[in-house]
Amino acid sequence: MDVLCWNCYEEVLSEGRYRGLGLFWGDGVKVCVCSKSARFIDAELEGGHGDPKWRFTGFYGHPKTSLHHLSWQAIRDMCDEDSLPWVLIGDFNEILTIAEKEACRRRRECQLWGFQEVGLMLI
């Protein structure tokens, strides 16, 4: 059995009842954590010699709908920080369209606008 072995990591400890965040990597990858908060870890990565730098952000959107605007503003702020190729992944705690929702609790279209706007900005 292969064992994943990450000897380097960056963490954000849990805040209240919400879980923390972690970014793990192995030897041969240079990682410079630019910023972090309870909602994201933003880093610049570089592989082997001569490999280009790129940016990685692991993101966890605010679980409270009334505070989603804070998540979208954090993404907007990070978007302006540099021009490296950027991978932004995570759980945004939102959907882009009503069609994605299958449960009985419906969402109002206006709740999606902030996430849709941020998504369009990143394209």
Residue 1 has pLDDT above 70, yes or no: no
* Whether the Cβ atoms of residue 12 and residue 20 lie closer than 8 Å to each other: yes
| Domain with residues 8-94, CATH architecture | 4-Layer Sandwich (3.60)
Cα distances (Å, whole numbers) of residue 122 to 27, 49, 60, 79, 83: 30, 29, 17, 8, 12
Angle at 58 between CA 2 and CA 47, to 5 degrees: 60
Report, as an integer, the average pLDDT of 18-44.
91
Q: How far apart are CA 46 and CA 29, in angstroms?
A: 6
- The predicted model scores a pTM of 0.84
What pLDDT score was predicted for residue 4? 60
What pLDDT score was predicted for residue 45? 95
Residue ranges of domains in the chain: 8-94
Residue 111 has pLDDT above 90, yes or no: no
> Between residues 111 and 45, which one has the greater pLDDT?
45
